[in-house]
Structure 1
Amino acid sequence: MRAIEAGALLRGPWRALPVLGVTQVLAWGALFYPPVLTVPLIAAERGWSLSFTMGGFSAALLAAGLVAPLVGRLIDRRGGHVAMTAGSLSGALGLVLLAVATHPAAYLGAWVVIGVAMAASLYDPAFATLGRLFGAAARRPITLLTFVGGLASTVSWPATRALCDGLGWQGCCLVYAALLALVAAPLHAFALPRKPADPPPAPPPGAAAPAAVVPPHGKTFLLVMAGFAAYAFVPSALSAHLIAMLQRGGIDAATAVTIGMLFGPCQVLARVTEFAFGSREHPLHLARFAIALMVAAFALLGSAGVSVAAAAAFYVMFGACNGLVTIARGTLPLALFGPHGFGAVVGRLAAPWLAMQAAAPLVLALTVERASDTAALALAAAFAAVSLGCFLAIRKPG
C-alpha cells in the first residue's frame, strides 16, 4: 500500500488525519475516560451516592445517543468543521458546569451537555467527517485514525490522576475544558478540510462494475444496527465490572489490574495487523472474525475457570476484538451503504450503540447482585453471540 507523503498531511483531505488525531485524544481524554477517576471524588465531596454520581455519566451517554443522528445529518450538510467545533465548545461548557454544580439537578444537567459534546466529538462524528472528505476511499484514514484514538486512555488516566492530585477534580475539569475550547475547537474550526470528496469518475468501457451497495434501511441496516448495539453491551459492561469479578474469583488486585492493562495494547496491535494484512478483506468479514473471537474468549473463560492464565488470554482476545470492531464500525457501513449520506448512517447506528453503553454497567451490576458473577458473564456472552448471529445473517452485496 502506498505510503502517505508527509506533505499530504498538511494539505487536502489528508490534513484531517493529524487534526482529528489530536482532537480525538483530547475529546476521549477529557470527556469519556476521566469519570472512572473523578466520579468517586465528586461523590465523596458532594455527599452523593456513588451510583447516583456515576448515573450522570450514563445520562451523558443517553443524551449522546439521542443527539447522534442529528449530528450525522449536520456533518453531511455542513461538514465536520461545524459539528465538531460545536462539540468541542459544548464539552468545554459541560465541564465548567460540572465543576461548579452543587445541586443534583445541575449535576445531571452538566452531564447532559457533556453527552451532546460526546455525540459531536468522539469516533462517530470523526468517521462521518472522514467519510464526507474521502468518500468511498475513507477506509484507510478511518483505520489510521483508530491507531491514534487507541492512545487516549493511555494519556488520559495518568494525566487525570496527576491533575486531580494537584488541582482537585474541579481543577481537572477546568483544565480539560480549556484544552477543548482553546485547542480542539480551533483545530476543528480552522484546520479541518471542508471540501467533500469528488464523486468517483465514471468507469471506462468494459471495466468491472463497482461493488454494489444496499439502501441504508430495511433488513440489512437493522442487522448492522442490532449487531453493533448488542456488541456495545460487552465492552461497556466488562470495563465496569470485570476486574472486580477477577478479584472475587481469587486473583489478587494487583495481578487483576496488570492483566487488565493487556486490553489497550492488544487493541492497537489488532488494528495495526488489520491495516497491514487485512485491508483487502471486506469489513463484514472483519466484523464476523472480531465477534467470533469475543465469543471464543467467553467460551475459554467459561471452560477453564478464573485463573491468571485464562484471564490473561481473555483480555488479549477481548482487546483484539474491540480494536477490530472499532474499525468495523466505521468501515462496514461505508462498504455496505456507500458514502452518500454517510454521516446520517453513522449517526443512526450510533444512537443504539450509545444507549446500550449507558445501560450495560447497571444491567450487569443488577445481575451480579441478584444472581452471580457466572450469570453476569453468561449474559455478556449472550450479547456477543447475538451480535455474531446478526453479522452472520448479513449477505455481502455482490
Structure 2
Amino acid sequence: MSTAAPQAAAPAKGGGRFTRGRRIVAALSITQTIGYGVLYYAFSVFLVPMTSELKANRTQVAAALTAAVLTMALCSPLVGRWLDAHGGRALMTTGSVLGTLAVLAWSQVTSLPQLYGVFVAVGIASAMVLYEPAFAVIVTWFDGRTRANALLALTIVAGFASSIFLPLSGLLVDRYGWRQALIILAALYGVAAIPLHAFVVRRRSDPIPAARGPAQRADLVKAAVRARPFWLLVAAFTAHGGAVATIAVLLVTYLIHLGHPPVFAAAIAGLLGVLSVTGRLVTTGLRRRWAAAPVAAAVFVLQGAGALLLPLAGRTVTGAIGCVLLFGLGFGVATITLPHLLAERYGTAVYATLSGRIALFSVADKATAPLAGVALAQAIGYGWVMGAVALACGIAALALVAYHRL
C-alpha cells in the first residue's frame, strides 16, 4: 500500500544514535508535558479569576483560547515545511522563548484585546513546540521498528499534563493569585523547555536524499495531495478530532444534565486522560498483529457507539461509566496513529509538511466543533450532539477503512 519515498538508514540500536534518540524522547516528554500544561490546560484554571478582573463574561474570555487554537492551525503548514527543510532544534527553541514571553505577557493583560493578542502569540508558539513538531523530530530520527515505541513513550508521559498542571495551577492561583501564578508557570516552562530544545533536540546527520532540495520535497508533496489517500486521512482525522474535542468540552455539562452530581461528572470525565494512555498502549500492541488503519477504525467505531449510547444509558451510574469507557479508549489513539500512517505511506522526507497540512483542518475543527456542539445542544438538545459525535466517529472509521484498501 505504500508509495513512500525511500526511508533513511535505520539507526543502530547499540550505537550512539539510539542513545541520543532516547535522550531526545526523554527531553521531548518533559517539554510536551510542561508545554501542554502551561500553554493549553492551565487556561481553564485561570478562566474564572480573569473573567472577574477583566470585567468580561466567560464566553468572551474563553474565546482567547479558541483564537490560540485557530492560530496554531493556520501556522501548522508553514511550521511543517520548515521542519522538513531545517529540522526542529531552532524552531522549537525559538517557540519555547516565544511561549515563555507570551505567558509572561498573559500575566499582565488588563483588557480583552490584550488577552486576544497574547493568545495569538500563544497559538504561534504552540504550533512551534507542541505535538506536531515533536512528532516530526521523532519520526525522522527513528526507523519503523523503534518509532512506534518512541511515540508511545512520549504520548504516555505527556498524557498526564492535565493531571499535573490543573491541580498545580489551582494551588498556585489559590496561594499567589492568577497573575503571579502565570509568572511562576512561565518561568517553569522557560527553564525546562528552552535548554532542552536547544541542547538535546537534533536532526539526523544522514537525511533522505530526496529531502535535500526544496524542489524534490515540493514534488513529493504535490504527488501526495493530488491522490485520494491523503484526503482520506484529512477526512478521518478532522472528523475524529472534532468529535473528541466536543466530548472533552461538553461531557461534564451533559452528565450533569442527565442528573448526575457535579463531582461525579467531573470524576468520570477525568477518566478520559487515563483512558487515553490505556488506548494508546492497547492500539500499539494490536498494531503488531494488524495494520494500523483498521485497528484505529475499529476503535473509532467503539467511540461512536459510546457516544450514541450515552443519551440512552447515561442516566444510570453504570451506563454513564460504560459509555465514557467506550469513548475514552480511543481518546488518544489518533495522536499516535496519524504519524505512523504518514511515515508508512509517504516516508519521512515530507512528513512534517503533510502533517502540517492535515493539522490545518483537524486542529481548526478541534477549535470550532465544540462551539457548534454548544449551539446545537442549546437549539435541539444534547442527544443530537451525541448523535453528531457518533456520526463523526463513523465517518472517521469509514475513511480509514477506505484508506487501508487503497
Residues 165-199 of structure 1 show CA distances to partners (whole Å, capped at 9, x for unaligned) of: 11211122212211222210110011112325565
Residues 13-39 of structure 1 show CA distances to partners (whole Å, capped at 9, x for unaligned) of: 232110101101110111110111111
Which of 81, 104, 119 aligns to 2:112? It is 104
Matched, 1:83 2:91: yes
Q: How does 1:76-225 map to 2 (within 5 A)?
A: 76-137=84-145, 138-196=147-205, 215-217=223-225, 218-225=227-234
Matched, 1:16 2:19: no
* Count of matched residue pairs: 382
**Residue 93 of structure 1 aligns to which amino acid in structure 2?**
L
Residues 295-337 of structure 1 show CA distances to partners (whole Å, capped at 9, x for unaligned) of: 1212332443432112111221222101222211221211222
Find the aligned partners of 1:243 and 1:197 in 2 and give their Cα distance. 49
TM-score, normalisation: structure 1: 0.90
Which of 284, 292, 306 aligns to 1:283? It is 292
- Asked if the contact 2:308–2:386 (Cα under 8 Å) also holds between the matched residues in 1, the reply is no
Find the aligned partners of 1:36 and 1:7 in 2 and give their Cα distance. 44
Indicate the SS of the match to 1:118.
Answer: helix
Query: Closer, same or farther in 2 for the Cα pair 1:296/1:248, shift >3 Å?
Result: same
- Once the two structures are TM-superposed, the CA of residue 261 in structure 1 deviates from its matched residue by 2.2
- Once the two structures are TM-superposed, the CA of residue 136 in structure 1 deviates from its matched residue by 4.2
- Once the two structures are TM-superposed, the CA of residue 360 in structure 1 deviates from its matched residue by 1.6
Counterpart of 2:370 in structure 1 is 361
**Residue 173 of structure 2 aligns to which amino acid in structure 1?**
C
Counterpart of 1:50 in structure 2 is 58
Identical-residue share of aligned pairs (%): 27
Counterpart of 1:208 in structure 2 is none
Residues 63-107 of structure 1 show CA distances to partners (whole Å, capped at 9, x for unaligned) of: 000101111111111111111112211111211121111122111
Query: Closer, same or farther in 2 for the Cα pair 1:196/1:152, shift >3 Å?
Result: farther
Query: Closer, same or farther in 2 for the Cα pair 1:253/1:8, shift >3 Å?
Result: farther
Matched, 1:67 2:75: yes
- Once the two structures are TM-superposed, the CA of residue 125 in structure 1 deviates from its matched residue by 1.1
Indicate the SS of the match to 2:204.
Answer: coil
- Asked if the contact 2:31–2:196 (Cα under 8 Å) also holds between the matched residues in 1, the reply is yes
Find the aligned partners of 2:326 and 2:384 in 1 and give their Cα distance. 21
TM-score, normalisation: structure 2: 0.88
- Asked if the contact 1:124–1:330 (Cα under 8 Å) also holds between the matched residues in 2, the reply is no
Please, which runs of 5 or more residues in structure 1 have no aligned partner?
201-212
Query: Closer, same or farther in 2 for the Cα pair 1:9/1:245, shift >3 Å?
Result: farther
- Asked if the contact 1:43–1:53 (Cα under 8 Å) also holds between the matched residues in 2, the reply is yes
**Residue 277 of structure 2 aligns to which amino acid in structure 1?**
V
- Asked if the contact 2:303–2:328 (Cα under 8 Å) also holds between the matched residues in 1, the reply is no
- Asked if the contact 1:134–1:196 (Cα under 8 Å) also holds between the matched residues in 2, the reply is no
- Asked if the contact 2:310–2:386 (Cα under 8 Å) also holds between the matched residues in 1, the reply is no
- Once the two structures are TM-superposed, the CA of residue 9 in structure 1 deviates from its matched residue by 9.1
**Residue 80 of structure 1 aligns to which amino acid in structure 2?**
G
Please, which runs of 5 or more residues in structure 2 have no aligned partner?
1-11, 210-220
- Asked if the contact 2:236–2:399 (Cα under 8 Å) also holds between the matched residues in 1, the reply is yes
- Asked if the contact 2:303–2:326 (Cα under 8 Å) also holds between the matched residues in 1, the reply is yes
Find the aligned partners of 1:73 and 1:136 in 2 and give their Cα distance. 22
- Asked if the contact 2:208–2:349 (Cα under 8 Å) also holds between the matched residues in 1, the reply is no
Find the aligned partners of 2:14 and 2:153 in 1 and give their Cα distance. 14
Residues 261-312 of structure 1 show CA distances to partners (whole Å, capped at 9, x for unaligned) of: 2212211122223334533532212321221111121233244343211211
Find the aligned partners of 1:30 and 1:260 in 2 and give their Cα distance. 20
Q: Which moved more, 1:110-119 or 1:35-44?
A: 35-44
- Asked if the contact 1:132–1:197 (Cα under 8 Å) also holds between the matched residues in 2, the reply is no
Find the aligned partners of 2:143 and 2:94 in 1 and give their Cα distance. 23
- Asked if the contact 2:294–2:401 (Cα under 8 Å) also holds between the matched residues in 1, the reply is no
Counterpart of 1:33 in structure 2 is 41
Indicate the SS of the match to 2:129.
Answer: coil
Counterpart of 1:204 in structure 2 is none
- Once the two structures are TM-superposed, the CA of residue 8 in structure 1 deviates from its matched residue by 6.6
Counterpart of 2:239 in structure 1 is 230
Query: Closer, same or farther in 2 for the Cα pair 1:344/1:315, shift >3 Å?
Result: same
Find the aligned partners of 2:135 and 2:343 in 1 and give their Cα distance. 10
Query: Closer, same or farther in 2 for the Cα pair 1:378/1:176, shift >3 Å?
Result: same
- Asked if the contact 1:76–1:343 (Cα under 8 Å) also holds between the matched residues in 2, the reply is yes
Residues 97-150 of structure 1 show CA distances to partners (whole Å, capped at 9, x for unaligned) of: 211111221110100000011111211111111112125452331122111111
Q: Which moved more, 1:75-84 or 1:303-312?
A: 303-312
Counterpart of 2:302 in structure 1 is 293
Matched, 1:333 2:342: yes
**Residue 115 of structure 2 aligns to which amino acid in structure 1?**
Y
Query: Closer, same or farther in 2 for the Cα pair 1:168/1:329, shift >3 Å?
Result: farther
- Asked if the contact 1:135–1:339 (Cα under 8 Å) also holds between the matched residues in 2, the reply is no
Which of 248, 251, 264 aligns to 1:255? It is 264
Find the aligned partners of 1:9 and 1:117 in 2 and give their Cα distance. 28
Counterpart of 2:387 in structure 1 is 378
- Once the two structures are TM-superposed, the CA of residue 222 in structure 1 deviates from its matched residue by 0.8
**Residue 306 of structure 1 aligns to which amino acid in structure 2?**
R
Matched, 1:345 2:354: yes
Find the aligned partners of 1:197 and 1:238 in 2 and give their Cα distance. 43
Query: Closer, same or farther in 2 for the Cα pair 1:10/1:394, shift >3 Å?
Result: closer
- Asked if the contact 1:139–1:330 (Cα under 8 Å) also holds between the matched residues in 2, the reply is no
